[in-house]
Amino acid sequence: MGLGMDASIALVAIAPFVAALLAPLAQRLTKPFAGWVLAAVPLAIFAFLLTLVEPVIANGAVSASIGWVPAYDLNLSFFVDGLSLTFALTISGIGALIVLYSGAYLKGHPHLGRFLGFLLAFMGAMLGLVLADNMLALFMFWELTSVTSFLLIGFDHTRQASRRGAIQALVITNIGGMGLLVGALLVHHLTGTWELSALGDEVRGSGLYGLVLFAFLCAAFTKSAQVPFHFWLPNAMEAPTPVSAFLHSATMVQGGVYLLARTTPWLGGTEAWTLILVCFGGATLLWGALGALRQTDLKQMLAQTTIASLGLSVLLIGLGTEAAIAAMALYFVAHALYKAGLFMVVGAIDHEAGTRDITVLGGLADKMPVTFIGAALASLAMIGLPLTLGYFAKEEMYLGLLAWTWSDIVVLVVLVAGNAMLAGVAMLVMVKPFLGPVLPTPKSPHEAPLAMLAGPILLGVCSIVFSVLTEDLGKYLLVPAASAILDHPVTSHLTLAINPASPLLWLSIATWGLGLLVYRQAATLRTLLRRAEAALGWTADNLFDVVMFGLIRFSAGVTRLLHHGRLEIYLVTVFGALALALTLPMLLLGGYDVLLPTAELGNWSDVLSWPDLRIYEWGVVLLALVGLGSVLLAPNRLVAIMALGIQGTAVALIFLLFGAPDLAFTQFMVEILSVVILALVMTRLRLDERDHRPLEDLARDGTLALVCGVGVSLLLMVVLTGTLDKRLSDLFTATSVPIAHGANIVNVILVDYRGFDTLGEIAVVMGAGMAIMALLRRRKKATS
Amino acid sequence: MNTIIFRTIAPLIVAIMLVFSVYVCLRGHNEPGGGFIGGLIAASAIAILGTAIGPAAARRALHIDPMNIAGFGVFMAAFSGLLSLFTGSPFMTSIWLYLNLGDTTVPLSTPMVFDIGVFLVVFGTIAAIALGLEGDGGERS
């Protein structure tokens, strides 16, 4: 291999980002074929990941690491085991089909290139997330998925609903992201490592276990839309359909499931873990399934079933038995395949027929036969009929719960009910739009283009092929993934043979039977559920709005309080704070004590003498005093400004006399420019010639000025009584000429020793200049 | 303020100040001076020019918008730091080059380029503010 293994694995996560940058350009160059061309990137990643299958099965894992911040011992490390490989292969494989599909779905859209770029960047973030070993890298990719999904969901940004969906997804998943960061920091604190693969039993045994668990569950539940954070997922359906097909089948929402599976070996297995995951997962499963039956919009129905499926996965991870984990691994792949397929089918229906409402669609099978085949393949897998991957997933789920204890029976009932409702929804999606009488639609329907058909058909076929190659399915998918989650080797016992004596078969038949019942009674159920929802009259979605608007009102209030627009108050606040900062700590901590005369000095008024100054030095002091007096006595503003300049010049002269020519030089220029600019500002603001202020204002401002001035003077005197730490200035004096080639130490510090500071400062100078320009231009517009 | 004497002498003062500002900027490494002070002097010169012949005419005399000069200054300062990448040293490591021209040696260095960047930023920003305040609101009229 030309590239090192480390770099190649890192490239899996990085290449999509590079491709994302180039996507708009590629789209412009290859107009109608943009989807086909860009799909090559995920396809290549998929092919590369396939070559890792054998080594992963042979060794259990392949890891890679490249230096990230060596100074802090941080590595950008990746870890490919059965679990991450299963996820990565699914993500890249479905990603390729989605990119292809998007090219056709958004054909002719002015921002297709941008869209494909977002999509590829999102895929890169997702691949990084499932491959990362370093927890900080994991966090980074986790947040990148939030940000890129925000861009994708809000792609149609002119619509208010899609902006709301995007913001909601970002806010909710970012809350979880913060949880993940806290969790990662806690785990690092407890174990001293950033690598997920290096973690053992330390966390479970520590006193902080509860907190760590809370942080990680917070992350997983928000990302994977568990009740009560489920509401962002349906609202994210405002995105173009390819986004939903990708985000809500194999990627974004599965991030939380992945995190739970990944943390199982060192965080899972405790009673709290099982209880929380099973309860929340079960609740989410039922809530999502009921929600799906309530909808008539095909896309919303699928969104709700996604919530249900996520709940199911979380429940299975919570159970944590060998069978449950195996079922979860199978279910992840099965769900990704059929859900992506179904979303693409719904997108095709929407694209070709002009509506997604299940009540007005019918008889499309004649017009769109290939789409119908795709829908049927996916739906059959969702129902879980034999010869599909969904069948095995369902069998494995039930297998772990045949101990007939009370808790097992409750979970089993929840699972059967949830699966039955999902099966009912699947039948609705398959039958209602395609079979039965032909109903009129907004557009006259016809078959979708090849790029849009490839996805559903290919995914449906995959589902069947995998299930027929039962042994390979066990060897290449179930065993590596489940072993990675459980951290010990498991064996596959998948078989296509149907055993009538096994309760599994009867549970499956019960599921299908109930599903059929749900399908037959769909309309009645929908009415009932809608009535129940109306009676409740309150959802978590509303609560989100209440909280968000509350936040906005709160920040508006705080802004009004602090940013009132009255310059006078700003200045009083700033200088009041300065006065307090200068004097309060010194007074409280006794900093001024060093200035008091010591006992040996005797009566201090005897030893007091005039300072020994030369005549020209007296001249400078006199100049400063004249300046100061003129400021106070100035008859109008202009004179006051000029007088302030005199006072400043006197200070500059003092600098010059006491050996700071650079400082003096700068001070002169600053004084001159201040006078010029202040005078100019004054004329522009058309202020009164004089400044009339009531007496209390004068008293307030005068006190502030005095306290600030005296505070600075006293501070300087205190500083001068101590011994200065001269190590730095000695170093600069000693090294300025030999290593920095400059005799002017001030300048050498500015441009060489502290050059980076100066770079920041000049950027600030320019930023301030631009802000002033903006203000001036606004004034001009307002006056003209 | 706008007397005939001022208007006649202003261009002379401005020319001397501009030359002096460059001198101050370049000598800064060994004598009092530097890019910051140089930039202030040059900006004062432009402010004087603006008062004497009007901000619009001063802008025309500059040819380039002062904010663009400031922007270029930031770029130049940052770029001078990047040059050290070619020697394999960290960002902003200084590089010195002594050119022998006949009898004298001219020291060139990345800190000097950096200092010129500082000069341009200070010059451009303060000149832009001064000209903007002098009447045209910061726009070419």
Q: Which residues on neighbouring strands pair with residue B107, listed in sequence order?
A: B98
Question: Over the stretch A460-493, which tens digit does the pLDDT of each residue have?
Answer: 999 888 888 888 888 888 888 888 888 888 877 7
Q: Which of these, B121, B124, B117, B119, lies nearest to B47 by C-alpha position? A: B124
- Residues A743, B31: C-beta atoms closer than 8 Å: yes
Q: In this predicted structure, what is the pLDDT of residue B46? A: 93
- Residues A769, B125: C-beta atoms closer than 8 Å: yes
- Residues B77, A768: C-beta atoms closer than 8 Å: no
- CB distance from A670 to chain B under 8 Å? yes
Whether the Cβ atoms of residue A383 and residue A509 lie closer than 8 Å to each other: no
Query: What distances in angstroms separate CA A40 from CA A35, A271, A483, A516, A544, one per listed residue?
Result: 9, 46, 31, 41, 40
A484-501 burial, b if ≥16 CB within 10 A, otherwise e? bbbeeebebebeeeeeee
- Residues A780, B139: C-beta atoms closer than 8 Å: yes
Q: In this predicted structure, what is the pLDDT of residue A720? A: 86
* Rounded (10°) CA dihedral A157, A109, A103, A457: 80
Q: Which residue has the tokens 């199982």?
A: A264
Q: Which of these, A293, A756, A777, lies nearest to A521 by C-alpha position? A: A293
Question: Over the stretch A63-79, which tens digit does the pLDDT of each residue have?
Answer: 888 877 777 777 888 88
Distance of CA A176 to the CA centre of its chain: 9
In what helix (H) or strand (E) does residue A74 lie, and over which residues does it extend? strand A74-81
- CB distance from A771 to chain B under 8 Å? no
Identify the residue among A666, A762, A777 best suited for mutation to test binding to B, counting B beta carbons within 10 A and taking the highest: A762
- Asked whether residue A5 carries a pLDDT value surpassing 70, the answer given is yes
- CB distance from A735 to chain B under 8 Å? no
Judging contacts by C-beta atoms under 8 Å, the chain A residues touching residue B28 are 744, 747, 751
In what helix (H) or strand (E) does residue A65 lie, and over which residues does it extend? strand A61-69
Judging contacts by C-beta atoms under 8 Å, the chain A residues touching residue B111 are 740, 742, 748, 751-752, 755
- CB distance from A552 to chain B under 8 Å? no
CA–CA gap between residue A687 and residue A676 (Å, rounded): 16
- CB distance from A558 to chain B under 8 Å? no
Inter-chain CB pairs, A–B, below 8 Å: 143
Q: In this predicted structure, what is the pLDDT of residue A554? A: 95
CB-based contacts of B36: which residues, under 8 Å, 6+ apart? Answer: A666, A750, B118, B119, B122
Question: Over the stretch B69-124, which tens digit does the pLDDT of each residue have?
Answer: 999 999 999 999 888 888 878 888 888 888 888 778 888 888 899 999 999 999 99
Judging contacts by C-beta atoms under 8 Å, the chain A residues touching residue B112 are 751
Q: In the numeric block, which tokens belong to residue A295?
A: 């909808």
- CB distance from A661 to chain B under 8 Å? yes
- Residues B37, A680: C-beta atoms closer than 8 Å: no
Which amino acid, residue A717? M
- pLDDT band of residue A118 (cuts 50, 70, 90) is very high
- Residues B137, A777: C-beta atoms closer than 8 Å: yes
For B66, the closest chain A residue by CA position comes to: A769
For A777, the closest chain B residue by CA position comes to: B137
3-state secondary structure of A157: coil
Share of chain A above pLDDT 70, in %: 98
Query: What distances in angstroms separate CA A347 from CA A18, B13, B100, one per listed residue?
Result: 28, 74, 73
- Residues B125, A677: C-beta atoms closer than 8 Å: no
- Residues B130, A666: C-beta atoms closer than 8 Å: no
Closest partner residue to A665 (CB to CB) among B37, B122, B126 is: B37
Question: Over the stretch A395-442, which tens digit does the pLDDT of each residue have?
Answer: 888 887 887 888 888 999 999 999 999 999 999 988 888 888 888 888
Closest partner residue to B133 (CB to CB) among A681, A741, A768 is: A681
SS (H, E, C) B61-123: HHCCCHHHHHHHHHHHHHHHHHHHHHHCCCCCCCCEEEEEECCEEEEEEHHHHHHHHHHHHHH
Judging contacts by C-beta atoms under 8 Å, the chain A residues touching residue B125 are 765-766, 768-769
**Cβ atoms within 10 Å, residue A606:** 8
Judging contacts by C-beta atoms under 8 Å, the chain B residues touching residue A662 are 32-34, 37
Q: In the numeric block, which tokens belong to residue A637?
A: 């503003």
Question: Over the stretch B6-43, which tens digit does the pLDDT of each residue have?
Answer: 999 999 999 999 999 999 999 888 888 889 999 999 99
CA–CA gap between residue A414 and residue A421 (Å, rounded): 11
Closest partner residue to A669 (CB to CB) among B29, B44, B73 is: B44
- pLDDT band of residue A2 (cuts 50, 70, 90) is very low
**What's the ipTM?**
0.91
Question: Over the stretch A222-280, which tens digit does the pLDDT of each residue have?
Answer: 999 998 888 899 888 888 999 999 998 888 899 999 999 999 989 888 899 999 999 99
Share of chain A above pLDDT 90, in %: 39
DSSP state of A750: I
Q: In this predicted structure, what is the pLDDT of residue A635? A: 86
Closest partner residue to A759 (CB to CB) among B78, B122, B128 is: B78
CA angle A70, A73, A78 (to 5 degrees): 90
Closest partner residue to A744 (CB to CB) among B30, B96, B117 is: B30
Closest partner residue to B37 (CB to CB) among A669, A676, A741 is: A669
- Residues B77, A769: C-beta atoms closer than 8 Å: no
Judging contacts by C-beta atoms under 8 Å, the chain A residues touching residue B47 are 673, 676
Closest partner residue to B121 (CB to CB) among A662, A741, A762 is: A762
- Residues A766, B124: C-beta atoms closer than 8 Å: yes
Question: Over the stretch A633-686, which tens digit does the pLDDT of each residue have?
Answer: 888 888 888 899 999 999 999 999 888 888 898 898 899 889 888 888 887 777
- Residues A676, B111: C-beta atoms closer than 8 Å: no
CA–CA gap between residue B54 and residue B131 (Å, rounded): 9
For B90, the closest chain A residue by CA position comes to: A756
Q: In the numeric block, which tokens belong to residue A363?
A: 């008889």
Question: Over the stretch A583-604, which tens digit does the pLDDT of each residue have?
Answer: 999 889 888 888 887 777 777 7
Judging contacts by C-beta atoms under 8 Å, the chain A residues touching residue B70 are 765-766, 769
Better-predicted residue by pLDDT, A551 or A775 = A551
CA–CA gap between residue A24 and residue A34 (Å, rounded): 9
Structural domain count of chain B: 1
- Min CA distance, B45 vs chain A (Å)? 10
Question: Over the stretch A354-409, which tens digit does the pLDDT of each residue have?
Answer: 888 888 888 888 888 899 999 999 999 999 888 888 888 888 888 878 878 888 88
- Residues B129, A763: C-beta atoms closer than 8 Å: no
Residue B107 in any domain: the answer is yes
CA–CA gap between residue B36 and residue B49 (Å, rounded): 20
Q: Give the structural domain span for B69.
A: 4-136
Residue B141 in any domain: the answer is no
Question: Over the stretch A293-330, which tens digit does the pLDDT of each residue have?
Answer: 988 899 999 999 999 999 999 999 999 888 889 899 99
- Residues A755, B111: C-beta atoms closer than 8 Å: yes
What's the whole-number mean pLDDT along residues A730-747?
A: 85
Residue B112 in any domain: the answer is yes
- Min CA distance, A110 vs chain B (Å)? 33
- Residues B29, A741: C-beta atoms closer than 8 Å: yes
Q: In this predicted structure, what is the pLDDT of residue A728? A: 86
The helix/strand count (H/E) of chain A reads as 34, 2
CA angle A388, A310, A134 (to 5 degrees): 105
CB-based contacts of A603: which residues, under 8 Å, 6+ apart? Answer: none
- Min CA distance, B32 vs chain A (Å)? 5
Closest partner residue to A773 (CB to CB) among B40, B67, B94 is: B67
- CB distance from A673 to chain B under 8 Å? yes
- CB distance from A756 to chain B under 8 Å? yes
Q: Which of these, A343, A415, A301, lies nearest to A105 by C-alpha position? A: A343
- Residues A756, B81: C-beta atoms closer than 8 Å: yes
- Min CA distance, A77 vs chain B (Å)? 25
- The HSE-up count of residue A775 (CA atoms within 13 Å, CB side) is 12
Whole-model pTM: value is 0.76
3-state secondary structure of A75: strand
Closest partner residue to B92 (CB to CB) among A756, A768, A780 is: A756
Closest partner residue to B73 (CB to CB) among A747, A756, A762 is: A762
Average pLDDT, chain A: 88
Q: In this predicted structure, what is the pLDDT of residue A1? A: 39
Judging contacts by C-beta atoms under 8 Å, the chain B residues touching residue A768 are 125
Question: Over the stretch A139-191, which tens digit does the pLDDT of each residue have?
Answer: 999 999 999 999 999 998 899 999 999 999 999 999 999 999 999 999 999 88
**Minimum mean pLDDT range among A563-567, A690-694, A751-755:** A690-694
- pLDDT band of residue B141 (cuts 50, 70, 90) is very low
Q: Which residues on neighbouring strands pair with residue B100, listed in sequence order?
A: B105
Judging contacts by C-beta atoms under 8 Å, the chain B residues touching residue A680 are 130, 133-134
Q: Which residues on neighbouring strands pair with residue A357, listed in sequence order?
A: A297
3-state secondary structure of A80: strand
